[in-house]
Structure 1
Amino acid sequence: MGEIVLLRRATLRVAFALACALIACLTLQILPAKLKARVSGTEAISGAARIIDGDTIEIKGERIRLNGIDAPETSQSCPSRWLGSWRCGDAAGHQLRKIIQMRTVTCEGHERDSYGRLIGTCFVEGRDINAEMVRAGYAWAFTKYSDVYAGEQREAEAAKVGIWTADKPVKPAWDYRKQRWQSAQQTAPAGCAIKGNISHAGHIYHLPWSPWYDRVSIDTGRGERWFCNEAEAIAAGWRAARFE
């Protein structure tokens, strides 16, 4: 009886070892394929760019989110060096337009976000637009996702330019968005705070940090509606409000 038990235990150990070996083998075969897809899926697009806001552009209908940076939202204000505040979000959009100056923009990306936007590094005549925005003080290095522009941010802070002008701390764009979203959710139906407006310009959705958000009223009788997230709005055929 004891010999049978020992034999069964030995058999189980062998089976377990074989299973582990099989899993390891399959992992080694699958993992490189995933990594290869991630690094070989570079997408590139070139052309005239439409400015959406300080960190988003559109080329040939393709929406590109500038990788590694986060600019103040268009409706956002920042403390001034002296008194009051200045419209840093509005200024960020103007700065991006100034850098591009109607020239051809080339963007390269390796991934897309949950809204289908290409996450890209963009260039004008060889100049990295993303880096230029951070260096000029019109965007933060988005270190939550990438520290590639951390050096440019240190330069901007040291030079006290743009959002680093005042001695007072500036609320980062991601905190500003969070605050605006939470505030809008309190009065939005079912907490769905994105406004889907219909106008002569088409079906346009407004996020809580849009400069026009508070001025837009939703009339469901006209087909206007509320959305819970951007992906839902895009899927329904609405487009984001533009800076221009």
Structure 2
Amino acid sequence: MLRICSWFVLALGLAGAALADSIDGTLRVVDGDTVDVAGVRVRLHGIDAPERDQPCTTLSGQNWACGDWVTRRVHDLFDGRAARCTPLDVDRYGRTVARCTVGQRDMGQVLVQEGLAYAYRKYSMAYDLDEKAAVIADRGIHGFIMDSPARYRLTRIEGRSAPDPDCRIKGNINADGVRIYHLPGQAFYERTGIRPEKGERWFCSEAQARASGWRPARR
């Protein structure tokens, strides 16, 4: 029994040592908060950027592809540059969660300061003040109307997700292929079913539905 415990402690120590090693190499941007460095897929610690397909709405009501815009901005800032990443954890998708520096600058902090990502307070408060400053300045994504990336992931159709209790707007596609959203209380809300396999989905806000290409039901 003592021998087994000793082996387990040794294994934990070796895993911790491996995790502590830095990852150095040329950085390739995957999306707003995910990069490849030296062949390792890295999820940046402490931030959460819009998903690549995530829409938003301008204050004037114009639909905008925020997720794609963020990815392109991060690419322009960091792609192809030398990076050093310090591993902190491994997420459920097998990605290394790490804090990365490029040219002595904390990449996560830069992205939050520029309004290209949110501070992911669920996991870290490191960038809390950076986000608050970006919000005050309406910088980047803070100048748009959009759901948080976490909420968007909950409602994005992946052939498996159930609607969040707070996301009750029904995005229906009629026989002519027209995308129409129904609010609770409208005439056809109760009889409207959602078929994910047909591309139908649930929304958390009218702004999200409009930005995704759905129009409101007339009654």
TM bin, normalised by shorter chain, reads: 0.5 to 0.7
- Checking the alignment, whether the CA contact within 8 Å between 1:70 and 1:141 is kept in structure 2 is yes
Identity value in percent: 32
1:162/1:39 CA distance change after superposition, 3 Å = farther
* 2:136 maps to 1:158: yes
- What TM-score does the superposition give when structure 2 sets the normalisation length? 0.63
- Checking the alignment, whether the CA contact within 8 Å between 1:70 and 1:173 is kept in structure 2 is yes
1:38/1:61 CA distance change after superposition, 3 Å = closer
Amino acid at match of 1:176: Y
1:83/1:62 CA distance change after superposition, 3 Å = same
Once the two structures are superposed, residues 187-216 of structure 1 have per-residue CA deviations (whole angstroms, 9 ceiling, x without a partner) of: 9xxxxxxxxxxxxxxxxxxxxxxxxxx9xx
- Checking the alignment, whether the CA contact within 8 Å between 1:76 and 1:89 is kept in structure 2 is yes
- Corresponding residue number in structure 2 for 1:64: 42
* 2:124 maps to 1:146: yes
| 1:179 equivalent among 132, 136, 155 | 155
Q: CA deviation at 1:49?
A: 1.5
1:180/1:100 CA distance change after superposition, 3 Å = same
1: CA distance, partners of 2:131 / 2:94: 28
Structure 1 unaligned blocks of 5 or more: 1-29, 188-213, 215-244
Q: Which of the two has greater helix per residue?
A: 1
Q: CA deviation at 1:102?
A: 2.2
1:176/1:145 CA distance change after superposition, 3 Å = same
Structure 2 unaligned blocks of 5 or more: 1-7, 163-196, 198-219
* 2:79 maps to 1:104: no
- Checking the alignment, whether the CA contact within 8 Å between 1:77 and 1:85 is kept in structure 2 is yes
- Checking the alignment, whether the CA contact within 8 Å between 2:54 and 2:65 is kept in structure 1 is yes
SS in 2 for 1:174: helix
2: CA distance, partners of 1:41 / 1:101: 24
- Checking the alignment, whether the CA contact within 8 Å between 2:46 and 2:120 is kept in structure 1 is yes
- Higher-Rg member (1/2): 1
- Checking the alignment, whether the CA contact within 8 Å between 2:88 and 2:99 is kept in structure 1 is no
- Checking the alignment, whether the CA contact within 8 Å between 2:112 and 2:127 is kept in structure 1 is yes
1:82/1:175 CA distance change after superposition, 3 Å = same
- Checking the alignment, whether the CA contact within 8 Å between 1:43 and 1:110 is kept in structure 2 is no
| 2:96 equivalent among 102, 118, 134 | 118
- What TM-score does the superposition give when structure 1 sets the normalisation length? 0.57
2: CA distance, partners of 1:37 / 1:101: 29
Amino acid at match of 2:150: W
- Checking the alignment, whether the CA contact within 8 Å between 2:27 and 2:82 is kept in structure 1 is yes
Size of the aligned set, in residue pairs, is 155
2: CA distance, partners of 1:64 / 1:91: 20
1:154-233 pair list within 5 angstroms: 154-166=132-144, 168=145, 170-181=146-157, 184-185=159-160
SS in 2 for 1:64: strand
- Corresponding residue number in structure 1 for 2:109: 131
Q: CA deviation at 1:108?
A: 0.8
- Checking the alignment, whether the CA contact within 8 Å between 1:88 and 1:138 is kept in structure 2 is no
CA RMSD of aligned residues (A): 2.8
1:81/1:118 CA distance change after superposition, 3 Å = same
Amino acid at match of 2:156: R
1: CA distance, partners of 2:80 / 2:28: 9
